[in-house]
Amino acid sequence: MRELARVVSAGKKSKAQIRPPGPKGTPIMGVMREFNRDSLGFIERAQRDYGDIVWMRFLYVPALFLYHPNEIEYVLATNAKNFIKSMSLRSNFFQRLVGNGLLTSQGDEWKRQRRLTSPAFHRERIAGYAGTMVDYTKRLTANWREGETRDVHRDMMRLTLEIVVRCLFSADVSNDVDEVGATLGELVKPFARQATLKWILNNRLPTPYHIHFHRLAKKIDRVVYRIIAERHAGGSDKGDLLSTLLAVRDEDGSQMTDRQLRDEVMTLFLAGHETTALTLAWSWYLLGKDTDIEEKFHAELDEVLGDRDPTFADLPRLKYTEKIAKESMRLYPPAYGLGREAIDDCEIGGYRVPAGTQVFMFQWSTQRDPRFYDRPGEFMPDRWTDQFAEQMPRYAYFPFGGGPRACIGASFAMMEIILVLATIGQRFRLELDPNHPVSIYPAMSLRPKDGVKVVVKSRD
């Protein structure tokens, strides 16, 4: 009998030898079609049906979906050295858009770029941006009229683009924001529908879509190259990030080429505005749906600020506003998924993961997981007590990613979101337009499909 038991256990494979469970999909495409049809639904179903570690195949590419904070921490932080950005971020699409900027670069090049860029995001520097954030918000709302209907998502995109360009590059793009916004909207549309196929095939054929895409990307290039050219022509050190990048010298004395500069500027231009605009748009949407929370928000603004403009020094006291921002990013994380690729074979959750596997983690799912959040689908800013934040697993909430590649602009973004919410909330209530249903459009980021339409009501 004992002999038989030994034979049975010898035949049993350890977890490290077997593949995690997961959907098979179809013989050639794997799960690609199903994923592209409804990516958020697919992400949710995969966890429900197979658990916290799910294996699948997109065409010939093996992929792992991770849902538990422990494994997410392992990939993003503890064992970050064994992972590079996923093939989606290395695709032609991203290369054409942001080239080899901070978001996409790797290894020593990334380290150098991160070191150079970091000072622009230090606390003392960020404090100096607060006035610009409030001034631009007041300028935006100066023409808002009582009772008019506005697309607040569009307004926030415009505003955050102006702010990031002014703060980091001391430039004004007021005349370009509408074109950039419309171009970006166009750029992500086809990509959203066929994302996985695009990064896997990664072809450079002159298809009508590629020709269209390159034409659109060129439009944004023009704005970025203009900012660089103006600075070259002006020649003065404005003490901003662009001046720092222009002044950089390698050991051999060489400077950044215009192409490298363009990649850095474009990266911050894109990474630094859409995500923040989305958090603001989703916050207005959530506030518009809950008058009790909205009243509490206004009460904090009245108590802390009264009629005066918010400043950097007010941030520690705008606690409820900060909780609104955090809770909004929990429910509608602008970056709703992150991807990495394993460089060497490794072990995740006891399973062996071969080199080359694409590993994906989803803020969308983990931040709505009932194991970590009571009533996970509800907008409850009050859940964010210090005690709650301390006891939860670190990677149950990661809207800004984590580990060495965590968002460099997280503090900048938090400050901007709080100051913009406060400046607008002091003056206006934004009522949701009942004739405009809001739905989610998971493109590169989590967008509201046709914007968020609101009716402007003065608080005076």
Q: Which two tokens stand for residue 324?
A: 């609104």
Binds ligand HEM by CB under 6 A, chosen from 310, 334, 425, 451: 334
Q: Which two tokens stand for residue 260?
A: 């490298």
- Region of 45-53, 63-71, 274-282, 295-303 interacting with ligand HEM (CB under 6 A): 274-282
H-type alpha helices, 91-204: 92-98, 107-117, 123-127, 130-141, 152-169, 177-201
- Region of 23-31, 332-340, 373-381, 419-427 interacting with ligand HEM (CB under 6 A): 332-340
x/- letters, 153..182, toward ligand HEM (CB under 6 A): -----------x------------------
Does 267 help bind ligand HEM (rule: CB under 6 A)? Answer: yes
CA–CA separation, 209 and 191 (whole Å): 10
Binds ligand HEM by CB under 6 A, chosen from 53, 72, 102, 430: 102
CB of 18 to ligand HEM, least distance (A): 29
Helix-strand-coil percent breakdown of the chain, rounded to 5?
A: 55, 10, 30
Binds ligand HEM by CB under 6 A, chosen from 166, 405, 429, 447: 405
Distances (CA, A) of 99 to 93, 102, 118, 138, 208: 9, 9, 19, 34, 22
Do residues 430 and 456 lie in contact, with contact meaning Cβ atoms separated by under 8 Å?
yes
Binds ligand HEM by CB under 6 A, chosen from 91, 276, 321, 365: 276
Q: Which residues contact 66 (CB under 8 A, 6 or more apart)?
A: 52, 53, 72, 75, 348, 349, 359, 360, 361
Does 448 help bind ligand HEM (rule: CB under 6 A)? Answer: no
Do residues 168 and 241 lie in contact, with contact meaning Cβ atoms separated by under 8 Å?
yes
> Where do the DSSP E strands lie in 246-375?
338-342, 346-348, 351-353, 358-361
Q: How many residues bind ligand HEM (CB under 6 A)?
A: 24
Q: Given the complex with ligand HEM, which of 187 and 338 has the nearer CB atom?
A: 338
- Region of 194-202, 204-212, 333-341, 376-384 interacting with ligand HEM (CB under 6 A): 333-341
- Four-point Cα dihedral 385, 388, 394, 396, nearest 10: -100
Q: Given the complex with ligand HEM, which of 346 and 456 has the nearer CB atom?
A: 346
Nearest residue to ligand HEM on Cβ basis:
409
Neighbour-count burial of 202, counting CB atoms closer than 10 A to its CB (0-12 exposed, 13-18 middle, 19+ buried): middle
x/- letters, 406..425, toward ligand HEM (CB under 6 A): -xxx--xx------------
Does 381 help bind ligand HEM (rule: CB under 6 A)? Answer: no
Binds ligand HEM by CB under 6 A, chosen from 31, 43, 61, 103: 103
Using CB under 6 A as the binding rule, the residues of this chain from 41 to 80 that contact ligand HEM are: none
Does 367 help bind ligand HEM (rule: CB under 6 A)? Answer: no
- Region of 58-66, 182-190, 211-219, 271-279 interacting with ligand HEM (CB under 6 A): 271-279
Do residues 220 and 98 lie in contact, with contact meaning Cβ atoms separated by under 8 Å?
no
Does 310 help bind ligand HEM (rule: CB under 6 A)? Answer: no
Q: Given the complex with ligand HEM, which of 88 and 141 has the nearer CB atom?
A: 88
Cβ neighbours, 10 Å, residue 457: 14
CB of 264 to ligand HEM, least distance (A): 9
Sheet bearing 61-66, strands edge to edge = 53-58, 61-66, 358-361, 338-342, 83-85
Site for ligand HEM, rule CB under 6 A: 85, 102-103, 114, 164, 267-268, 271-272, 275-276, 279, 334-335, 338, 399-401, 405, 407-409, 412-413
